[in-house]
A and B are shown apart, each in its own frame.
Chain A
Amino acid sequence: MNDTDCTVCQTRLHGYLDQQLDPASAAQVAAHLSECTGCARRHDELKKLKLSVRQHAPYYAAPASLATSVFAQRSGTPRLLQRWRQWLAPAFCATTLALAMVLYVATPGSEQPLMDEAVSSHVRSLMGEHLNDVASSDRHTVKPWFTGKLDFSPPVLDYAAQGFPLLGGRLDYLQHQATAALSYGRAKHIINVFILPTAQADTPRHSETIRGFNVVSWQANHMRFVLVSDVEKSELEAFSQLLRDGA
């Protein structure tokens, strides 16, 4: 081996150490190393250097937080998510608001309290001696009595012939307004008929049961009729039919 070989070897030695030479070149270098002490020494030296770096040079692994931010913020999906959130939040708010409004408008908000109030008033009227302010079966006595006390004229009719005698009338107060309350008898039962003015349109008859009392209500001629009694539902509905026809 001559000097030219050593010069070539100085570079090739690295490929040899890194095991990146093709087999033929590697064999040449190996052969040269076995003959040339200078290159062999250099080879050992480089091997040690290589080992020092490999074993002791610090390896900087990526911090865990970097992986998180690379895949959480820099990537597309979370952005998409953020965009979604951006649109979703107002959309959700709008939907909720709309739903709230629909519920507010659609629910008979004033209806249920009125029925409740009517039932309470019915119960109260039977507790003491305050069923009637004007106790009369004569509608010509009862109806004029309301005049001047109400700003509307409730229909007052006697249905004694049909088994619902008029017992009298009184003033009541439902839904923050003066209300006509007529009482009718049915056998031993009492039926309270509450009549109050309303600006709303006519509605068909509606029956329900509140706290065991049957309640029938409807709207006609800008008046609200609420019948409350413990008589049977069918009887109350029959009576309501009489009122509607008579009114």
Chain B
Amino acid sequence: MKRFEQLIAPHLDAAYNLARWLTGNDSAARDVVQESALRAFRFLQRFADGNAKAWFLTIVRNESYTWLKASAGRHWLAIGDDIGDDDTALSHNQTPELQAIHTENAALIEQALQALPPVFREVIVLKELEDMPYKDIALVVDIPIGTVMSRLARARVMLKLELLKLHDHE
């Protein structure tokens, strides 16, 4: 029990933040973290010393997706697969509107980020909000480390487009 608390307690915020960003609501995030903690406790013996944060967030991510599947259907799940991780989508040169991108409007950023499919949203959350290195993101999201960078590149382009879209609507 002591070990469990020592391992998990420091990462409870990260867990809740990820679950909250993926599920998009407070009570779901709560349930997801509770369930994840239960799983983590159950599989505590299997966790050798290592990256407790990545380990716990992997569980939280899986639980979040389980919740999403149950509540929202599967329509978005294909996105991560279709997209490949080719860079062709990046080659178009959108005229940058720096004003739109460099916003301090938290609600706007949240809205834009929430508009991204979860597989792109999560890499931005893990990178920018948790400041995790690519190798840890690769563990949590379960993709090759080389794919993390292209996934992030794609996610940021999408986020920029969302911000521009929202900016235009204002």
Contact = CB atoms under 8 A, between A and B. Distances in A.
Interface of A: 7, 10-15, 18, 20, 38, 41-42, 44-46, 48-63, 66-67, 69-71, 74-77
Interface of B: 1, 4-5, 8-9, 12-13, 15-17, 20-21, 29-30, 33-34, 37-38, 41, 87, 90-91, 93, 96, 98, 101-106, 109-110, 113, 124-125, 127-129, 133-134, 149-150, 152-153, 156, 159-160, 163
17 contacts: A10-B153, A11-B149, A41-B96, A45-B101, A48-B101, A49-B102, A50-B156, A52-B101, A52-B103, A52-B163, A53-B124, A57-B110, A60-B16, A66-B30, A67-B12, A74-B37, A75-B5
B33 A70 contact: yes
Contacts of A74: 34, 37-38, 41
A76 B156 contact: no
A55 B128 CA distance: 9
B159 A49 contact: yes
B106 A61 contact: no
A7 B128 contact: no
Given A11-B90, A14-B153, A75-B5, A56 B124 contact: no
Nearest to B151: A14
B98 A10 contact: no
A46 B156 CA distance: 8
Contacts of A69: 34
Contacts of A58: 106, 110
A18 to B, nearest CB: 6
A75 B87 contact: no
A13 B160 contact: no
Contact of B105 (A12, A49, A56, A62): A56
Classify the interface of chain A: helix, strand, loop or mixed. helix
Given A20-B149, A74-B41, A11 B33 contact: no
A49 B38 contact: no
Contacts of B134: 15, 18, 20
B129 A54 contact: yes
Contacts of A12: 149
A77 B21 CA distance: 31
Contact of A7 (B15, B37, B87, B159): B87
A13 B20 CA distance: 29
A50 B109 CA distance: 11
A112 to B, nearest CB: 52
Contacts of A70: 8, 12, 33-34, 37
Most buried by B among A7, A14, A46, A61: A14
A107 to B, nearest CB: 45
A11 B153 contact: yes
Nearest to B90: A10
A50 B134 CA distance: 15
**Which 10 A-B pairs have CB atoms at the shortest separation, nearest pair first?**
A62-B16, A60-B20, A48-B102, A77-B1, A62-B12, A70-B37, A53-B128, A56-B106, A61-B13, A14-B153
B110 A13 contact: no
B16 A61 contact: yes
Nearest to A61: B13
A199 B8 CA distance: 71
